[in-house]
Structure 1
Amino acid sequence: MYKNLSRRKFLGATGIGVAGSAVLAKASQQIVFPVGENLRENAVTTESFAREVARVLPPDKPFGYQQRIRESAMHQLMKDPAAKPLDTEFALNRDVKLCYVEDNSELIKDAVKDFQDYLKTAMEVGSRIDLRKSWKGIKSGDNVVLIGTRHQLPEYGKELKGTKSYALVKTPGGLVVCGYDDQGVLHGLYNLQAKMSLREGPFLPKNLKITRQSLYQRRMALSGMGWMEWPDQILSAMAHNGFDGIFASVYANPNGDRTTAENSTDFYARLLHKVRKQDPAKIHDLIGRAGKFGIQVYAPIIYQYTGTPESEAGLRKLVRDIIQEFPLIKGYVLLTEGFWYQKWGGLHGADEAHVQDWARNWSKAIAMVTEECHRVNPETEILAWEYNIDFRPQNTKLKKYFIQQLPADAIPMLTWENGKGFELDGMQGYLRDYSLSQVGPAEVTQAQIGEANGRSMKVYSKVDTFASWQFGTIPYLPFPGQWRKRYDALQAYGVSGTLESWSSGYTPNFIAELRYWTCWDNSMSFEELLGAMASRLFGAAQQEKVLQAWQHFDNAIRLVPDTGPNMGTNNAIGNPLFFQVPPVRTATFHNSWTDHEGWMGYLGGELNPYWPFTVSRMVFYPDFTNKTNRAEQYARGATGIVAGKEVALLPVFLKHLKMAAAEMEEGLKLYRAAAMESPDWKRKRAVSEVVVAEHLHRMMESNCAVLEFEELRFNRAHEKDSAKAAEMLKKMKEIVIAEIARTKLSLIAVTHDSRLGFQFEQDYVYTPYSLKEKLLLLEDTLNKQLPLAAG
């Protein structure tokens, strides 16, 4: 049915890797499920869909996705073999002539070559580059593309107002791409690619005439592949998704200086001692390679300022050394986790006078960095990020005080949603960390924006836009409607620059594509964009199912009460149900002079010896002395609800989490059906999209299971009524049985998609191996531990 089907293997594979290099599995008998008006009654279950996952997605291994990215080509086939231009469209379908004049920069020349490669590879359209001394003598035609800046094409650049803005105009003589500057040309060409990719053909409107101004001065992100993992393929994908900045060398000075880490005895300096030493040659290489994609490099400066003349001299020397070695670094992110005054931490709930003194001295150090940098290059951006300062709603005054102390030519980097207040069953709570359940901005952030505006300071923000620590082991969060609300809020509050989705980092995904479209004005409506994206991912016939599924997903995330980098949204799938103390898997220090709890913490191994597959903070482990109800304790910490000890928060937490899971399941019924009915050449991509959403759903359900099981275990230990204790054991058995089934499905998912479970702060939080170990423990609990307890 589809000509050259083998070349379309990529379309299904992009959910697994940029290149989608793994070929489709040999077709087996297709599983057919009825859909239509009775869809909900005849829905594709997660158990039956798992057969399709195993059939369509080849076995994967940890870090397989990263390997495929490194081995991939920059562009892949995006053309629908059946697509034809509408009456309102024209086609770039043969012998396209890409014309530009000789005096252009290397950035524009590389962008034109990239566009040529895109036409050939993604759209199967041949083209040739026409490098000219002038525009004279060009023959008109639909396949002629004129490319230049507003100085070279003044007729088309009159309305362009700033960097990255561009005009796309269809004229009788051809197609014009006019940029305000080199960056504008680059992003104009990228937008043509985005339009054709969304349309799945080399088709553009006959009446195309649009001018688009960038809404952001800078958009940056980390690499989702890991610390200093920046292959060209990631840089290219980021640039095509509108990023023009990267934050590299996190927690390490770009020149390799480790003075603070190796000489300070402060708590955070001891943590920094465990951070890798930077190789300056890697930074030089990265600056050069990123520049070819129009991307600027930002880096941290790591220093403990103590307030003495010697400390000031040391800071100034460090800054001068760095800017002398790296004159092309665009800016520096001065994050309190690494750039701090005197003693790190201890500012949550501290005396106001103490915090203000800290703010003044921290800002003084910011001013020193700013002064040294601007003495060499006034355009260098100094981004002051006071993340660790108490962000609860009641701390508005102190957060504003930090803005008041900053030097006028620094740029405040504000944390977007952390601390945002909300209500849960009449009780007040606040986001404990990065989360999507609330749109933002937080109350303190809103106040800081107002303070900065009053000082005529531009504002940058660390803001999640496609992934978050709420479900941080999922590569992106498929909640487009909720993301859209956040994008709109960013624009409404006038944020000028962003550091997006720290610390998940960027890897290609459709949410990041949606975000790209919202970063310039004059975009298509979000509804139109969602419809086109749904059709591209699942096929036009499945558009309505997918749109309805996304609405359910949006409803679900708004209900999730677990906010932040916790077990429940990041490792519940990998966390066992501990009924009794399990066998020790690593060394312990219970009877040693070593403090066992300290060894498990930040300055030790960070591993729980009973479940050492991830860092201790990601493991929910009971108090087997039965003095503390860890499930109730978890609900209090994860929600940020402030309530007296007499108030039981766990029931409220579980109620809302179950409501969220139910909404996810309603959406998944539609999502699975859409994937099962997707065209063969889109099937792999569609199935991989469902895998991500199913994994989110299972994380919610496992979160409930872990906490319900522990609540029962704890209460049974204190229950004197044998009948009630027996009923508790019965319920625990039911939870274990359900969790075994869920874990087996999770194992299928992670065995076929290596994106799942990874979060580069600690590599994999859970792996196929650790899930198999969990299953062994669950089976032992079910078949031995619980029966023995029942007597």
Structure 2
Amino acid sequence: MTFQNDSKIKEMLNYLNKSPHDFNFNGENLISIIGKDIRIAIPSGFPRLEIAAQDFKDFLSKSGRINAFVKKITAEEKSNGFIINISDTDKNDDSYNIILQDNVLTIIGNSEMGAVQGLYYTERLLVKYNGLLPENLKIERKTSLKRRITTTAFNPPIGWPEDNAYLDGYLSRMSHFGYNGIFITDKFFTYALSEAIPELNASDRDKVIDYLNNLTEKADKYGIGLYLIPSMIISPNSSVFQNHPELKGAKFWEGSHCLCSSSPVVLQFYKEVVANLVKDVPLLKGLILIIGGECFLHCYTRAIGKEKTTSCPRCVNEDPVKLVSRQVRAVLDGASGKIDIIVWPYSAFYWYRGDNDYLDLIKALPEGIAVMESPSKDSPLTRQGVTAPAFDCDISVTGPSERFRRIAKTVKEKSFDLIAKTDSSSTIEAYSIPYIPVLGRWYERHSELAKIGIDGMLGCWHINGFTGTMSDELAYECMWSPLKDKKECLSEIAQKFFGKNSIKYCIDAWESFNKAWDYFPFSAAMTGLPYFRGPFHFGPAHPLVLDVQNESKLPGDFFHKQNVDNEFCDDEEKLKEINKTPMFFSDLIWTLPYGYISFENALLQTLKFWNEGLMHYSKAIEKADNKEIAHTEYGVADMFKCILTTAYNVLRFQKLKIKLYEGVKNPQELEKIINSFVQVAKEELENAKNAIKLANEDIRIGYGGYTYK
């Protein structure tokens, strides 16, 4: 993976790798309760707890005159200060109890990681109470979310992140936010090893296995397991198809193919590859199989025509549901119960012949898997009297949708675990900011999912990755029960980031941002038809294009490749054309399905309430304890205003083009239109300058798609 803009990447790496203790507390207050010399007593034989205890010691030492030290003790020994014990009733249960009595704070975890999470939460309590913990404090925190998965901010769309994408400080930060899993979308054939199809054995497999073992061992120190999302596609020139044409499955992009899903040899190949992977990477946590429209490919992944058939002659008469279930079974058999197998029917509409709930597909899946789904996908969203489905990675619909509820019911009836893809860290509505501060909406999403009883969550996709934002804070709070009410939850976040005197103004700001979102005209066109194009992708970098004949003169960064991996396109000239897909719009198609008039009305309403929220945020900064942190969070909201303003200016500019194309009656009218073009361009230039200022002040701003620009 090659990072763009190395200096920015290094700055971001430093930001994410620093201590997760961004917030402090008054050490004198804690001294008044426990004393200056604080012992952190832990049982022997728990390396992850020892790392967390050293981390806790550093946290305490930052806060003043506290002399903290870690001591290993037996269960029978007495100690003052902090005592951490483990009941060890269930190694997968991260629940814990915290008790303050007689100047001793005791943390009892139901497992080693339960004790670790108890320590992390104690840090939050000390910040919340400024060191002055309530007398006779008693807290019990439980989690039903066995899987809490995120990913690095430096993940390529497909392939292995660089080693520095998962530094120790970054992994610790993820663990502090409750995550116990990370994912990588990999190339399945880079670790292939089987007797079934030896031609596909990976030549550099040893290097990949070493990489995976190093990463899993490193992540395990923080209680984090690695999930792989296999992506499998084969070049048409592969020797396996020349030697075994009967293994050649359906055709995909640029002439590439998958392996034939009906072949017993192929199913045995999948089983053996997974079995060898599990054997050689013993700390691997699981596989996430996208069985819909990408990644875990089969001969129906991109079905043909209204009949939703396949180009594979051997699979053309197969029932696609049974075919996919068999392929999942092969992987499950290879795993032998040693790792999680999570199945995600993302975009299965390409081939599934029923409704978009995929209920018959879920019922046909083999026992022993978990099912993942988005809580908002395909929910009806109405703006300006027009209804369109909310299609992906959004917070425009909080959910859970009726579709998700039907899927959840079926999953539970099958005794599968249910994983919700929450997109807590970042969403598709604005790629270039780390989160959208509609905190009320985030609470609604997570609290409603908690009521349904999900068994896990995947917090983000490849859009932005985990950076520890306020929306991540909300996701963290909703991982645990008893669930705090909305006011308490938002008040704690406001106090942490701004200060006690700013709580009211922060909540007012978030309420205004939530109102703005009630008008926000989300659609698949707005995000790029469907991805990585337009003003909400590019933000204030989006060009104002008058003459489409001159588009090609724009720098290369305004274009990108789409859906094709370079290794499957041998024609350099063709590859150049593929890579010239514009990431901008020079017409108004991005305002569909609302149409540009309704879109403009919705946009103006969104801007009205967003500005109202920024006004409340300004008052919060005036009262803030830590003005630097408060100003940074204000900057995220201000940057989204810049993105909204760009969208408005692009729309105005393109409306002027329509007016120009309709014809002008005289030179005076032409001059008026030209002056309007210039005025819009000047306003957008000022908007872009403000955006650059905000991006320079906050390293998290400016991350778009998958790499820095």
Normalising by structure 1, we get a TM-score of: 0.74
1:132 to 57, 68, 73: 73
Percent identity, aligned pairs only, is 19
What is the match of residue 328 of structure 2? 366
Q: Which amino acid aligns with 2:186?
A: Y
What is the match of residue 514 of structure 1? 474
What is the match of residue 319 of structure 2? 357
Corresponding position: 1:688 with 2:652: no
How do residues 431-442 of structure 1 correspond to structure 2 at under 5 angstroms?
431-442=390-401
1:555 to 515, 521, 543: 515
What is the CA-CA distance between 1:71 and the residue it aligns to?
Answer: 5.8
Corresponding position: 1:661 with 2:597: no
Corresponding position: 1:634 with 2:601: no
How do residues 57-76 of structure 1 correspond to structure 2 at under 5 angstroms?
62-69=8-15, 72-73=18-19, 75=21
Asked if the contact 1:356/1:401 (under 8 Å) is kept, the reply is no
- Inter-partner Cα distance in structure 2 for 1:442 and 1:348: 29
1:247 to 180, 183, 190: 183
- Inter-partner Cα distance in structure 2 for 1:657 and 1:349: 36
Q: Which amino acid aligns with 1:239?
A: S
1:577 to 531, 539, 544: 544
1:64-114 deviation line (CA, Å, top 9, x unaligned):
532323663454561258x857xxx97345111222333x42222222222
Asked if the contact 2:226/2:286 (under 8 Å) is kept, the reply is yes
Q: Secondary structure at the match of 1:203?
A: coil
Asked if the contact 1:253/1:299 (under 8 Å) is kept, the reply is no
1:732 to 657, 677, 694: 677
1:94 to 12, 15, 36: 36
Asked if the contact 1:254/1:279 (under 8 Å) is kept, the reply is no
How do residues 220-239 of structure 1 correspond to structure 2 at under 5 angstroms?
220-227=149-156, 228=161, 229-239=165-175
Corresponding position: 1:671 with 2:607: no
What is the CA-CA distance between 1:491 and the residue it aligns to?
Answer: 1.0
What is the CA-CA distance between 1:332 and the residue it aligns to?
Answer: 0.5
Asked if the contact 2:17/2:170 (under 8 Å) is kept, the reply is no
What is the CA-CA distance between 1:570 and the residue it aligns to?
Answer: 1.9
Q: Secondary structure at the match of 1:301?
A: strand
Specify which structure has the bigger relative contact order, considering alpha-carbon pairs within 8 angstroms and separated by 6 or more residues: 1
Q: Secondary structure at the match of 1:62?
A: helix
Q: Which amino acid aligns with 1:333?
A: I
- Inter-partner Cα distance in structure 2 for 1:705 and 1:348: 39
* Cα gap change, 1:345 to 1:704, in 2 (>3 Å): farther
What is the match of residue 583 of structure 2? 619
Asked if the contact 2:309/2:351 (under 8 Å) is kept, the reply is no
1:187-223 deviation line (CA, Å, top 9, x unaligned):
1111101211233x32322121122111311100111
* Cα gap change, 1:443 to 1:412, in 2 (>3 Å): same
Asked if the contact 2:147/2:181 (under 8 Å) is kept, the reply is yes
- Inter-partner Cα distance in structure 1 for 2:683 and 2:199: 52
1:409-452 deviation line (CA, Å, top 9, x unaligned):
11111133221112223322111321111112344333221221
1:334 to 274, 279, 289: 289
Q: How many residues align?
A: 640
- Inter-partner Cα distance in structure 2 for 1:480 and 1:355: 49
Corresponding position: 1:489 with 2:451: no
- Inter-partner Cα distance in structure 1 for 2:451 and 2:432: 30
1:323 to 278, 283, 305: 278
- Inter-partner Cα distance in structure 2 for 1:358 and 1:495: 28
* Cα gap change, 1:393 to 1:440, in 2 (>3 Å): farther
Q: Secondary structure at the match of 2:297?
A: strand
What is the match of residue 5 of structure 1? none
Q: Which amino acid aligns with 1:286?
A: L
Q: Which amino acid aligns with 2:134?
A: P
- Inter-partner Cα distance in structure 2 for 1:670 and 1:396: 45
* Cα gap change, 1:233 to 1:615, in 2 (>3 Å): farther
What is the CA-CA distance between 1:521 and the residue it aligns to?
Answer: 0.5
Q: Which amino acid aligns with 1:246?
A: I
Corresponding position: 1:283 with 2:283: no
- Inter-partner Cα distance in structure 1 for 2:217 and 2:380: 43
- Inter-partner Cα distance in structure 1 for 2:562 and 2:340: 39
What is the match of residue 16 of structure 1? none
- Inter-partner Cα distance in structure 2 for 1:429 and 1:395: 20
How do residues 599-614 of structure 1 correspond to structure 2 at under 5 angstroms?
602=564
Asked if the contact 1:352/1:398 (under 8 Å) is kept, the reply is no
Q: Secondary structure at the match of 1:116?
A: helix
What is the match of residue 190 of structure 1? 120
Corresponding position: 1:705 with 2:664: no
What is the CA-CA distance between 1:398 and the residue it aligns to?
Answer: 5.7
Asked if the contact 1:216/1:496 (under 8 Å) is kept, the reply is yes
* Cα gap change, 1:148 to 1:381, in 2 (>3 Å): same
- Inter-partner Cα distance in structure 1 for 2:661 and 2:70: 77
**Relative to structure 2, which stretch is displaced further, 176-185 or 347-356?**
347-356
What is the match of residue 296 of structure 1? 225
Q: Which sections of structure 1, spanning at least 5 residues, go unmatched?
A: 1-59, 152-156, 265-275, 589-596, 623-629, 642-647, 767-791
2:420 to 453, 461, 472: 461
Normalising by structure 2, we get a TM-score of: 0.82
Q: Which amino acid aligns with 1:130?
A: K
- Inter-partner Cα distance in structure 2 for 1:501 and 1:428: 26
What is the CA-CA distance between 1:602 and the residue it aligns to?
Answer: 3.8
* Cα gap change, 1:173 to 1:739, in 2 (>3 Å): closer
Corresponding position: 1:170 with 2:100: yes
Q: Secondary structure at the match of 2:349?
A: coil
* Cα gap change, 1:714 to 1:600, in 2 (>3 Å): farther
- Inter-partner Cα distance in structure 2 for 1:551 and 1:394: 42
What is the match of residue 310 of structure 1? 265
- Inter-partner Cα distance in structure 2 for 1:258 and 1:473: 39
Asked if the contact 2:191/2:277 (under 8 Å) is kept, the reply is no
What is the match of residue 568 of structure 1? 535
* Cα gap change, 1:674 to 1:211, in 2 (>3 Å): closer
What is the CA-CA distance between 1:461 and the residue it aligns to?
Answer: 2.1
**RMSD of aligned residue pairs (Cα, Å):** 3.6
What is the match of residue 25 of structure 2? 79
How do residues 23-172 of structure 1 correspond to structure 2 at under 5 angstroms?
62-69=8-15, 72-73=18-19, 75=21, 78-80=24-26, 84=29, 91-102=33-44, 104-122=45-63, 125-136=66-77, 138=78, 143-150=80-87, 163-172=93-102
Q: Secondary structure at the match of 1:547?
A: helix
What is the CA-CA distance between 1:311 and the residue it aligns to?
Answer: 1.6
Q: Secondary structure at the match of 1:754?
A: coil
Q: Secondary structure at the match of 2:97?
A: strand
What is the CA-CA distance between 1:299 and the residue it aligns to?
Answer: 1.1
- Inter-partner Cα distance in structure 2 for 1:169 and 1:736: 61
Q: Secondary structure at the match of 1:384?
A: strand
**Relative to structure 2, which stretch is displaced further, 336-345 or 203-212?**
336-345
- Inter-partner Cα distance in structure 1 for 2:353 and 2:126: 49
What is the CA-CA distance between 1:235 and the residue it aligns to?
Answer: 0.5
- Inter-partner Cα distance in structure 2 for 1:277 and 1:469: 37
- Inter-partner Cα distance in structure 1 for 2:305 and 2:430: 25
- Inter-partner Cα distance in structure 1 for 2:689 and 2:352: 42
1:755 to 695, 700, 708: 700
- Inter-partner Cα distance in structure 1 for 2:704 and 2:539: 14
What is the CA-CA distance between 1:171 and the residue it aligns to?
Answer: 2.3
Q: Secondary structure at the match of 1:169?
A: strand
Q: Secondary structure at the match of 2:461?
A: coil
Q: Secondary structure at the match of 2:482?
A: coil
* Cα gap change, 1:545 to 1:599, in 2 (>3 Å): closer
Q: Which amino acid aligns with 1:110?
A: I
- Inter-partner Cα distance in structure 1 for 2:636 and 2:95: 34
* Cα gap change, 1:327 to 1:372, in 2 (>3 Å): same
What is the CA-CA distance between 1:604 and the residue it aligns to?
Answer: 6.9
